[in-house]
Amino acid sequence: MYFQEIRNGPYIGLDNANRLFSFLEMVENDLNLILKNEKCVLKLEIISVHPILGLASNLLKKSIEIARVAECSHIITSATAVASQNLFKKFGFKTVHKVLFNDFLEDGEPVFKNLHDNGSGAELMLYKLE
Q: What is the mean pLDDT of the chain?
A: 87
* Residue 22 covered by a domain: no
| DSSP H or E segment with residue 6 | helix 3-7
| Amino acid identity, position 25 | E
Give tens-digit pLDDT for 102-122.
888 888 888 888 888 888 899
Return the exposure string of 68-83: e unless at least 16 CB atoms fall within 10 Å of the residue's CB, then b.
eeeebbbbbbbbbbee
Say which range, 23-27, 50-54, 67-71, 114-118, has the weakest mean pLDDT: 50-54
pTM, two decimal places: 0.85
Q: Is residue 83 domain-resident?
A: yes
Domain count, the chain: 1
Rounded to 5 degrees, what are φ and ψ at 102?
-65, -15
Q: What is the CATH number of the domain that holds 123?
A: 3.40.630.30
**Considering the domain boundaries, does residue 16 fall inside one?**
no
Question: Is 21 inside a domain boundary?
Answer: no
* Segments forming the whole domain that contains residue 51: 30-128
d(CA 70, CA 81): 28
The predicted-structure confidence for 34-66, as pLDDT tens digits, reads as follows 888 888 999 998 777 777 778 889 999 999 999
Residue 13 counted as domain residue: no
What pLDDT does residue 1 have? 62
CA–CA separation, 66 and 90 (whole Å):
19
What's the count of helices (H) and strands (E) in the chain, helices before strands? 5, 6
